[in-house]
Amino acid sequence: MRGAILGVLGVLLVGCGEIPLRGGSGEACPTDERDEGGARVFALQPRVDPAHFESYDSYRAHLVELVRTHVAPCLAKDRPNVLVFPENTGLSAGFVGSRGEAARASSGAFPAFLTLGGQYTKPMDFYKSKWPEAPLPTQILLGLTDTTWRAFHETNQAIVKETGAWLVSSTNVSGRVERSEDPAEIAALADPDLKDVSYVYVARDPAVYNAAFVYGPDGEIVASRKKPYPILMEEVDLALTPGPLREATPIEVGPLGVGIVTSKDAWMPDMVDRLAALGADVFFQPEAFSGWTIPESADEPNAWRRTSCARARWPRCRSTARFVMASYRISRAICSICRSTGNRSSWATSCPARRGGRMSGKTRGAG
C-alpha cells in the first residue's frame, strides 16, 4: 500500500516561512533542500467579499489575480503543479449580477440564499415543471445552475489554461450539468444581464451535491467527487444529497494518487481508510470554516492544535501521514515541517508532494 499524506489543502494561509509574494516581480521562490516532490501543490485562499461577486467579471478577476500574483511566480517547471481551492468556492458565484444584488446586501449567508429564490422564479419554474417534488432549497440551487456554473466552471477553465496546472475546486451543483443551445432552454434559463446568450448550462439531475471537480491542464474536467458526509446544515437547510461512498477512489493527478476528503469527510474513518487502502498518496481537503460555516472566534485557531486533533481520526494515520490544516481566513498548520500561522486576507501556500507518503513544503504568502 502506498503511503498517504493527509494534506488538508483547501484554502490556506499557513506553512513553512513567511515570505511576501510580489505580483509580477518575477522574483524566484525560496528553495528548500526537501523540495523534491512529484508535484507542487498550492493551497489558495480567496477572500469572501461581496465586491468580488457583483458580476461574472469581478468573480473571475479576483480568482485569476490571486493565481497570477501568488502562484504564477512559483510554478514548478520540472513537475506538475496542482492548485487547490476551498470548499464551496463556487457558492458565491450564485450571487452575481442584478438578481443577486438584494442577497449580497443580506446580513447572513442563509437569509441571502433564500433571497435568491425570489429573483430566480423563471428558472426555478423550469425545473419545478420537471421535478415538482424537489424541496425549496433544491429548487433554488437548480435555478442557480446556469449562473453558478457559468462563473465557476469557466473561471476554472481560464485559470488552468493560463497556468497549465491541475486545479481542484468545489461547489454545490446538480449531479449532471450540460451545456445547451436549445432555444427553449435558453429562453427559460438565460441570465437577463447577458446579451445575445447563445448557450446555457442546464441541470439534468434533480439531486444537488457538494462536489469537488478536478480540472486537467487542458481545461477539461477529468474527475469529480461528491461529498458523502454533508453536515446537518447542508442536509437540512440546503437539502443536499450525500454522495455515494463507492465513488470515493483516488484520482490520478499527474504522478499522484489524490484522495479528496471534503470537510467532514476527513473525520470519517471509512472514508479515510478506504482511500488509503486504494493507494492515495495525498489527501486534499477543501474546507470552509471561519465564519463561512461556523461563527468566528478569537480562539478559533485553537481548534487545530494537536490536542484537538487527538480526538479526531488522524492519530491512526500518523505512521503514514502528515497534516496541513486550512480554513477560509484563520488557519493553523498541523505538519511537522511547517511552523507559522497566519491571519491574512489572501495567501497561497505550496507544499510539494510525492508518492510514498513523504511531503516537504514551503510557503508563499501576502497580506
Are the C-beta atoms of 212 and 260 separated by less than 8 Å?
yes
Average pLDDT over all residues of the chain: 76
Length of the chain: 367
Q: Grid coordinates standing for 47? A: 477572500
Residues in a beta bridge with 82: 41, 166
Average pLDDT over every residue of 287-292: 61
Share of the chain above pLDDT 90, in %: 54
Average pLDDT over every residue of 163-182: 97
For residue 319, what pLDDT is reported?
28
Q: Grid coordinates standing for 314? A: 488522524
The Cα 146–Cα 124 span in angstroms is: 11
Share of the chain above pLDDT 70, in %: 68
Give whichever of 35-49, 227-241, 293-307 has the largest mean pLDDT: 227-241
Per-residue pLDDT at 9 exceeds 80: no
- Where b means 16+ CB within 10 Å and e means fewer, 220-253 reads eeebbbbbbbbbeebeeebbbbebeeeebebbeb
Of the candidates 71, 306, 317, 99, the one whose C-alpha atom is nearest the C-alpha of residue 193 is 99
Per-residue pLDDT at 130 exceeds 50: yes
Q: Distance of alpha carbon 82 from its chain centroid, rounded?
A: 12
Rounded to two decimals, the pTM is 0.79
Per-residue pLDDT at 182 exceeds 90: yes
Over residues 133-144, the pLDDT tens digits come to: 999 999 999 999
Torsional class of 69: left (φ above 0), alpha (ψ -120 to 50), beta (otherwise): alpha
Torsional class of 14: left (φ above 0), alpha (ψ -120 to 50), beta (otherwise): beta
Place domain 5-366 in its CATH homologous superfamily: Carbon-nitrogen hydrolase (3.60.110.10)
